[in-house]
Amino acid sequence: MLNYEYLYSIRDKIPKIVKNIFPKFIKRKINKIFFKYYFVPTKFYDLPKLNYLDEQTIEYQKNLITKFNLNNKQTSFMTYPNLIELLFTKFDTKDKFNFLDVGGEKIDFYLSLKKNFENVKYFVFNQDSMIKPFFELKNDYKFDDLYIIEKIENIFEKNYEFVNFGSCIQYFNNYEYLLNGLTKKSKYIFFSGTHLYDSPEKKFQKNIIVKQLNFSPNYYYLFFFNRKYFFKKFDEENFELVFERKNLTDNVNYDNFKNYLQNISYSDFLFIKK
């Protein structure tokens, strides 16, 4: 069996000038054969403490504002591009409601949200390096309905009509603490780009931790969740599953897990409080 981690480490050491020698169709064939998996299993039980460190600059965020003003729409990537359309099925344009964006990082989503729902209050929580520019943006642009949450425990000070987890819950070591609090404070809770699987085996009854390779030379660790166990928490808190669908922003190859996990999917799913 190929050692994919070793292959990726070799690829990372190849100078760009050498990589550029090969035509694109050759590189695509190589990637399809040798670099086709995004994730490999690990033996970890907890995520490493220094994991998924990232940052956004104020210049990047201001550029998103400029593009929004020119195009009158969001231009940055989202793991669920139809989120505004989903909100239209739950709220009217004049409704007053609190929206919590866990893992939010793009200011033009806030602009799009306010454009379509003028009375919404937008709460954002992320790691310090990601939300630091939001303080300056709030002050400079007078974003009065933008509320920045710095500490995880402060999330539970408000009630939310809609909570959005944009492909981020799998990077929280303390995700159960977060969900325990939010299931008591929220009406709708939505997850996009989240990895779910089925398995009757006891050692896989809750989750597994995998290593993410497709952002090499940066490597991250995250959870895959047992669907039954993950959904059970919401059932216990009197939530109902509205839908679960395949996320269409990426086509993840899970073949290297198929011998011991079933029905693995990169999923979007929505819960509502009964």
Q: Is residue 202 located within the same domain as residue 265?
A: yes
Burial label for 100, CB within 10 Å (0-12, 13-18, 19+), is: buried
Q: What is the DSSP string of 167-187?
A: S-GGG-TTHHHHHHHHTTTEE
Phi, psi of 24 (to 5 degrees): -60, -40
Q: Is residue 9 located within the same domain as residue 115?
A: no
- pLDDT of the residue at 33: 55
Q: Is residue 163 located within the same domain as residue 87?
A: yes
Cα–Cα distance measured from residue 186 to residue 156, given in angstroms and rounded to the nearest whole number = 10
Q: Is residue 65 located within the same domain as residue 84?
A: yes
Structural domain of 23: 1-36
Q: Is residue 15 located within the same domain as residue 47?
A: no
Tell me the pLDDT of the chain (274 aa) as tens digits: 456 556 656 565 556 665 667 666 555 555 555 557 889 899 999 998 866 666 789 999 999 999 999 999 999 999 999 999 999 999 999 999 999 999 999 999 999 999 999 999 999 999 888 999 999 999 999 999 999 999 999 999 999 999 999 999 999 999 999 999 999 999 999 999 999 999 999 999 999 999 998 776 778 999 999 999 999 999 999 999 999 999 999 999 999 999 999 999 999 999 999 9
Q: Is residue 19 located within the same domain as residue 147?
A: no
Q: Is residue 111 located within the same domain as residue 9?
A: no
Q: Is residue 62 located within the same domain as residue 9?
A: no
Q: Is residue 179 located within the same domain as residue 250?
A: yes
